[in-house]
Amino acid sequence: MIEINLVPDVKQELIKAQRVRATVISFSILIGFVAIGAVTILAIYVFGVQTIRSGIADAAIKDGANKLTSVQDLSKTLTIQHQLTLLSAMHASKNIDSRVFSVLTAIIPPAPNNVQISTLSVDSSTATISLEGQALNSYAAVEVFKKTIEGAQVKFTDNGSDQTVTLASNVSTGSTSYGEDSTGAKVLRFTMQFNYAPELFSPGSTNLSVVVSNNGNATDSYLGIPTSIFVDKAQDLGTGK
């Protein structure tokens, strides 16, 4: 059987191009419908589902807020809970003020120069200890007490290292007056104040002890003599000797 193609080549190319164009247009229309569908679904999710979820969340928040506001003394409860979370840090950083009793045990001289403390206060903001006391041995006992404080040292361990610092600085005696104690005995009443070393009450100072050294001189004659009595020899005028 013999077939004769009566369609010219140009006509065939035109038909082929029309078929390709129709196919492209069909796919374009299909893709357009898919895109429109995707946008529609996304819009429904954003403006529908999300709105519903947001409304549910708002309702839950409002309900929770109403329950909280109905709790009696809520603000006080929250304040206490917040303070409880800070207790550990506060406890770790607080000063160990109870060490002041160890200080008193170490610095009060033995008889006959012993003193009795009636009032004692510790001011951590200025690192100052102030005290009021009385002594049977009058001014001699007060002078011994003062020098004992000046010669005291604090020994402690910090981060595994043994250290020693001077207990007090700026030791000063305030007002003095005579009076009678509860037994009717005549006593010298006095006030005294000094700045203590910050390591004394620090929680970082472990194995702490207060040692009285008096700079190597602990004799009664030294302790009872005011340091203001002895000074360096004055120079001769004009000679420099």
What's the pLDDT at 144? 93
Instruction: Find tokens 């196919």 and name the residue.
Output: 23
Same domain, 104 and 196: yes
- Banded model confidence at residue 26, pLDDT cuts 50, 70, 90: confident
Which residues 6+ apart lie within 8 Å of 133 measured at CB?
Answer: 115, 116, 117, 118, 145, 189, 190, 191, 192
- Banded model confidence at residue 74, pLDDT cuts 50, 70, 90: low
What's the pLDDT at 130? 95
- Whether 111 is covered by a domain: the verdict is yes
- Whether 233 is covered by a domain: the verdict is no
- Whether 87 is covered by a domain: the verdict is no
> Using omega within 30 degrees of 0 as the cis cutoff, is the peptide bond preceding 112 cis?
yes
Same domain, 109 and 159: yes
- Banded model confidence at residue 8, pLDDT cuts 50, 70, 90: low
- Whether 76 is covered by a domain: the verdict is no
Least confident of 45-59, 109-123, 134-148: 45-59
What's the pLDDT at 120? 92
pLDDT for residue 232 is more than 60: no
Same domain, 31 and 123: no
Q: Which residue has the higher pLDDT, 82 or 131?
A: 131
* CB-count exposure of residue 230 (10 Å: 0-12, 13-18, 19+): exposed
Same domain, 17 and 101: no
Same domain, 218 and 157: yes
Residue 158, domain CATH: 3.30.1360.100
What's the pLDDT at 52? 80
Whole-angstrom distance between the N-terminal and C-terminal Cα of the chain? 151
pLDDT for residue 228 is more than 60: no
- Banded model confidence at residue 222, pLDDT cuts 50, 70, 90: very low
- Whether 18 is covered by a domain: the verdict is yes
Q: Which residue has the higher pLDDT, 8 or 240?
A: 8
Mapped onto helix, strand or coil, the DSSP state of residue 111 is coil
Q: Which residue has the higher pLDDT, 13 or 163?
A: 163
Give the dihedral sign, CA 190/216/106/185: negative
Same domain, 222 and 105: yes
- Whether 219 is covered by a domain: the verdict is yes
Q: Which of 71, 88, 121 is the last residue of a domain?
A: 71
Q: Which of 33, 53, 71 is the last residue of a domain?
A: 71
pLDDT for residue 163 is more than 60: yes
DSSP character at residue 106: H
- Whether 88 is covered by a domain: the verdict is no
Least confident of 68-72, 133-137, 163-167: 68-72
Degrees to nearest 5, angle at CA 85 with 84 and 86: 90
How many domains are contained in the chain? 2
Same domain, 60 and 108: no
What's the pLDDT at 116? 92
Mapped onto helix, strand or coil, the DSSP state of residue 172 is strand
Same domain, 49 and 124: no
Mapped onto helix, strand or coil, the DSSP state of residue 233 is coil
Same domain, 224 and 106: yes
- Whether 17 is covered by a domain: the verdict is yes
- Domain of residue 18, residue span: 1-71
Same domain, 133 and 39: no
Over range 23-34, report the average pLDDT.
85
Same domain, 15 and 120: no
Same domain, 54 and 128: no
* CB 107 within 8 Å of CB 149: yes
What's the pLDDT at 216? 38
pLDDT for residue 4 is more than 80: no
